[in-house]
């Protein structure tokens, strides 16, 4: 199994959990999470379909090579980098477990900033700004506008 299929399968699982959790929300609050679940699930299915097309094309090219026909080189499938996947999975699990204890406003910027800093995807100052901005945007949408009951501060009810 290559990394694209693994990511797609996990995303479908996450979308299913979001969709089932959203069913218990009030009708006004469930629209956005359900829409997001359908979008993520649909894009994940498209990722799997794309991998199927790549696999089929590779099989045709391999068959063409055995008959002596000229073929184009195909990029190799990306393999799973377990040394990166496991720490991120642990960080996500810790984030989920710590929200009820430490609260959203502390846990989310620390998690987002930490992941961006560890991955070195962007500069440190930008990572901090992104973490704070995304936290504020999520707070504005889900807590202020949709009024979802998320624990904001440590040990809040």
Residue 9 parent element (H or E):
helix 3-22
Burial of 124 (0-12, 13-18, 19+ CB in 10 A): exposed
Q: Which residue has the higher pLDDT, 110 or 23?
A: 110
Domain-terminating residue out of 26, 59, 80:
80
Q: Are residues 3 and 49 in the same domain?
A: yes
Name residue, tokens 């379909």.
Answer: 49
Residue 121 and residue 63 share a domain: no
Has residue 1 got a pLDDT over 60? no
Residues 139, 119, 130, CA angle at the centre, nearest 5°?
A: 30
Query: Does residue 94 share a domain with residue 38?
Result: no
Q: Does residue 33 share a domain with residue 10?
A: yes
Residue 75: band (very low, low, confident or very high) from pLDDT cuts 50, 70, 90: low
**Residues 6+ positions from 112 with CB-CB distance below 8 Å:** 130, 131, 134, 135
Round the average pLDDT of the chain to a whole number and report it. Answer: 83
Q: What is the pLDDT of residue 120?
A: 83
The total domain count for the chain is 2
Quote the DSSP letter at residue 81.
Answer: -
Banded model confidence at residue 66, pLDDT cuts 50, 70, 90: low
HEC per residue, 29-63: HHHHHHHHHHHHHHHHHHHHHHHHHHHHHHHHHHH
Q: The domain containing residue 102 runs over which residues?
A: 82-157
pLDDT digits (tens, 9 = 90+) for 121-153: 889 999 999 999 999 998 888 888 877 777 777
Q: Which of 26, 55, 80 is the last residue of a domain?
A: 80
Residues 99 and 125 in one domain: yes
How many other C-beta atoms lie within 10 A of the C-beta of residue 138?
A: 14
């Amino acid at each position: 199994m290559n990394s694209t299929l693994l990511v797609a399968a996990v995303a479908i699982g996450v979308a299913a959990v979001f969709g089932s959790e959203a069913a218990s929300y009030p009708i006004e609050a469930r629209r956005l999470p359900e829409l997001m679940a359908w979008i993520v699930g649909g894009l994940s299915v498209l990722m799997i379909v794309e991998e199927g097309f790549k696999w089929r094309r590779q099989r045709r090219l391999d068959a063409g090579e055995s008959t002596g026909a000229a073929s184009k080189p195909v990029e190799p499938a990306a393999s799973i980098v377990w040394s990166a996947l496991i720490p991120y999975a642990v960080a996500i699990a810790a984030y989920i477990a710590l929200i009820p204890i430490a609260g959203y406003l502390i846990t989310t910027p620390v998690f987002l900033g930490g992941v961006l800093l560890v991955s070195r995807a962007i500069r440190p100052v930008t990572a901090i700004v992104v973490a704070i901005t995304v936290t504020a945007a999520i707070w504005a949408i889900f807590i202020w506008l949709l009024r979802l009951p998320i624990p904001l501060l440590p040990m809040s009810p």
